[in-house]
Chain A
Amino acid sequence: MSWAAVARKDFDDAVQSRTIWALSGFFILLAIGLTYAYAEVPLLAGGEGTIGGLVFFLAGIVGTFVSVTALVLCYRSIAGEAELGSMKLLLSLPHSRSDVLLGKVIGRTGVLALPLSIGLGIGLAMGILMIGRGSVQPAIVFLLWTFVFALAYVSIIVGLSALTGSTTRAAALSIGFFLLFEFLWDVVPFVVLFVVSGFSIPTSQPDWYPLLGQLSPSDAYVSGLTALLPDVARGTGQPIPGSGVDAFYADPAVGIVILFAWLCIPLAIGYTAFSRSDL
């Protein structure tokens, strides 16, 4: 249970970051504001709003907030400590390097969970009061799945941070990851398709094309949410990833698998590098 001591220390430290609270304040206001707009403006809800509709409405900003905040919160988590020398203090105590990584992931996910709980908690509570109909269950599933998403994103960035002992390189890796998977991912599947079609405009869509689109953590999060709330998704006209494609992986549940892969694989790679490195 050595990771618990690391997690607690790391939470106490990272929760004091002013940058994080600036981002969080913005998110909390945005979540409340959007909820209000959704409940008040029928055009946004595409008719009469429901809790389920609100959930998918909010999921978009959650994707952006979690990815940006996890990046800011975590890119220095391992590399920064190694570069500065506090890692020597940390590893002078009886923690294994896997405990350090696990403690970092848990501690910083805890920090990220605070603004998510506040913003979404207030937003959903407002939504339930203002809309006043439909089941509360989608809101609970949404909150829990959002925590899993935050955990996955934190572990991705901590894993990247563990690859190097330099803050600059850790920043470059994290920003590169963000640009590729969050900023450019809308066009990446098309570019891949263009390349495999022999550098020509493709005439048809192969089966794997929608799968590629779900590979980014945020897309996997939304896709997973669709799988967890299938009736709500259908009822609110959400695009169902993979519909119309006849393959075993053409199911939004693939998003759940992808997100769990993001949760484990970067961290495992980061651990391999970190466990071998000299301080």
Chain B
Amino acid sequence: MAAIQLDGVTKRFGSVTALQDVDLTVESGEIFGFLGPNGAGKSTTIDILLDFVRPTTGSATVLGHDAQAESVAVRSKTGVLPDGYHVYDRLTGRQHVAFAVNSKNGNERPIDLLERVGIADAADRRAGDYSKGMTQRLVLAMALAGAPELLILDEPSTGLDPNGAREMRDIIREEADRGATIFFSSHILEQVESVCDRVGILNDGQVVAVNTIGGLRTALKTDSRLEVTLASPDDGAIDAARAVSGVSSVVRDGAVVSIAVTREAKVDAIRAIDEAGYSIVDFTTEESSLEELFAAFTGDGEAASQPEAHIAASEVAE
């Protein structure tokens, strides 16, 4: 049985179309990354799964229950870390988690859940005094209450430092090992890459790709990047590389020629440059990052030409 199934979901807010005919299936037991730039409609999709908003047309089914008609049943088996939430400033961390455990008819001790997310020492402080990262951990602890079959996490690493983000990924893996399905959204790509079985990419309200990371690379064909350092800068090498079948783009920066190429055609590209008479000092090859794939799918040209400009890095800097 699919854990999540969206059929032809469209959501309009007034004249703005947030989601356009979205079909999506998340299988039971998988870790599914839901990717897209800010404003793509990821949170709206999650809001529909939880009946926070109602689709204009189409239907959503979660764990076999209609997301709208049987929302309480859905939420009783689902742990949620929502987006744009606010905690109860006057209640302590322990009170928050106790409320979640009571609401879910769980049997955990609140302190154990707080221990698991690393804020047990702040259990009796008011949540209003928590930092953003601690608040995010607190709400994760609430989501874990009652050992849910499905975890829906909207931008889970928001506000977390790199260490916190790693702990978040560890918890996601532990929950998956327990048998839970994980559905999480992110615009921070490297985190999705390291934990997800499959990803879906949403752009401008439409699902543009659903695949494994490897499958996405294959779908794009340019799954490798080859950097060739020449003895002397020369545009002729660009033309030589471009002529090779399997090469999708070539750019030169000084003596370094950067080539997007299929895995099979890498050797052909090096040979073509060499045979055209340009002497090669050095070359490196790497799998294309998810950033590049993501940029290719979402038409973000700037990021595509500057793969080093990690969206994730700028996020951490904030």
Seen from chain A, the residues whose Cβ lies within 8 Å of a Cβ on chain B are 2, 5-6, 8-9, 12-13, 16, 84-86, 88-89, 91-96, 278-279
Taking a contact as CB atoms closer than 8 A, the residue among A6, A8, A13, A89 that contacts B85 in the complex is A89
Residues of B within 8 A of A12 (CB): 91, 95
Check if B102 sits within 8 Å of A279, measured CB to CB.
no
Check if B142 sits within 8 Å of A94, measured CB to CB.
no
Check if A91 sits within 8 Å of B142, measured CB to CB.
no
> In residues 87-120 of chain B, which contact A (Cβ within 8 Å)?
87-88, 90-91, 95, 99-100, 102-104
Chain A-chain B contacts (Cβ-Cβ < 8 Å), number: 76
Check if A5 sits within 8 Å of B91, measured CB to CB.
no
- Top 6 closest A-B pairs, CB basis? A92-B80, A94-B76, A85-B86, A93-B103, A278-B53, A279-B52
Query: Among the interface residues B53, B82, B88, B90, which one has the most CB atoms of the partner chain A within 10 A?
Result: B88
Taking a contact as CB atoms closer than 8 A, the residue among B85, B88, B103 that contacts A5 in the complex is B103
Seen from chain B, the residues whose Cβ lies within 8 Å of a Cβ on chain A are 13, 47, 50-54, 71-73, 75-76, 80, 82-88, 90-91, 95, 99-100, 102-104, 139, 142-143
Check if B104 sits within 8 Å of A86, measured CB to CB.
no
Rounded to whole angstroms, the CA-CA distance of A91 and B83 in the bound complex is: 12
Closest chain B residue to A84, Cβ basis: B86
Rounded to whole angstroms, the CA-CA distance of A6 and B85 in the bound complex is: 17
Residues of A within 8 A of B47 (CB): 278-279
Residues of A within 8 A of B13 (CB): 278
Rounded to whole angstroms, the CA-CA distance of A9 and B50 in the bound complex is: 21
Q: What are 28 of the A-B contact pairs (CB < 8 Å)?
A: A6-B103, A9-B91, A12-B91, A84-B86, A85-B84, A85-B86, A86-B86, A86-B87, A86-B88, A88-B82, A88-B83, A88-B84, A88-B85, A89-B85, A89-B142, A92-B82, A92-B143, A93-B80, A93-B100, A93-B103, A95-B72, A95-B75, A95-B103, A96-B72, A278-B13, A278-B52, A278-B54, A279-B47
Rounded to whole angstroms, the CA-CA distance of A271 and B103 in the bound complex is: 21
Closest chain A residue to B53, Cβ basis: A278
Q: Given contacts A9-B95, A12-B95, A94-B72, are A2 and B103 in contact (CB under 8 A)?
A: yes
Q: Given contacts A5-B102, A278-B54, A279-B47, are A89 and B87 in contact (CB under 8 A)?
A: yes
Closest chain A residue to B92, Cβ basis: A12
Residues of A within 8 A of B73 (CB): 94
Residues of B within 8 A of A91 (CB): 50-52, 75
Residues of B within 8 A of A86 (CB): 85-88
Residues of A within 8 A of B53 (CB): 278-279
Expressed in whole angstroms, the minimum distance between the Cβ of B52 and any Cβ of chain A is 4
Check if A89 sits within 8 Å of B90, measured CB to CB.
no
Closest chain B residue to A10, Cβ basis: B88
Rounded to whole angstroms, the CA-CA distance of A8 and B50 in the bound complex is: 23
Residues of A within 8 A of B139 (CB): 89
Closest chain A residue to B71, Cβ basis: A96
Expressed in whole angstroms, the minimum distance between the Cβ of A201 and any Cβ of chain B is 50
Expressed in whole angstroms, the minimum distance between the Cβ of A105 and any Cβ of chain B is 17
Check if A92 sits within 8 Å of B86, measured CB to CB.
no
Taking a contact as CB atoms closer than 8 A, the residue among B72, B83, B90, B103 that contacts A13 in the complex is B90
Rounded to whole angstroms, the CA-CA distance of A94 and B80 in the bound complex is: 10
Rounded to whole angstroms, the CA-CA distance of A93 and B47 in the bound complex is: 13
Query: Among the interface residues A86, A88, A92, which one has the most CB atoms of the partner chain B within 10 A?
Result: A92
Rounded to whole angstroms, the CA-CA distance of A279 and B80 in the bound complex is: 15
Residues of A within 8 A of B91 (CB): 9, 12-13
Residues of B within 8 A of A278 (CB): 13, 47, 52-54
Expressed in whole angstroms, the minimum distance between the Cβ of A86 and any Cβ of chain B is 5
Rounded to whole angstroms, the CA-CA distance of A278 and B84 in the bound complex is: 14
Q: Given contacts A93-B75, A279-B52, are A8 and B82 in contact (CB under 8 A)?
A: no
Check if A9 sits within 8 Å of B99, measured CB to CB.
yes
Rounded to whole angstroms, the CA-CA distance of A66 and B51 in the bound complex is: 35
Expressed in whole angstroms, the minimum distance between the Cβ of B235 and any Cβ of chain A is 55
Rounded to whole angstroms, the CA-CA distance of A6 and B102 in the bound complex is: 9
Residues of B within 8 A of A84 (CB): 86
Residues of B within 8 A of A2 (CB): 72, 103
Residues of A within 8 A of B52 (CB): 88, 91, 278-279
Closest chain B residue to A276, Cβ basis: B54
Expressed in whole angstroms, the minimum distance between the Cβ of B69 and any Cβ of chain A is 12
Check if A5 sits within 8 Å of B50, measured CB to CB.
no
Q: Given contacts A13-B88, A86-B87, A279-B52, are A94 and B103 in contact (CB under 8 A)?
A: yes
Residues of A within 8 A of B72 (CB): 2, 94-96
Expressed in whole angstroms, the minimum distance between the Cβ of A12 and any Cβ of chain B is 6
Check if B103 sits within 8 Å of A85, measured CB to CB.
no
Residues of B within 8 A of A95 (CB): 72, 75, 103
Residues of B within 8 A of A8 (CB): 99, 102
Rounded to whole angstroms, the CA-CA distance of A5 and B73 in the bound complex is: 17
For the A-B complex with A6-B103, A85-B86, A92-B75 known, give 15 more contacts whose Cβ atoms are closer than 8 Å.
A5-B103, A8-B99, A12-B95, A84-B86, A86-B88, A88-B85, A91-B75, A92-B50, A92-B82, A92-B85, A92-B142, A92-B143, A93-B80, A96-B72, A278-B13
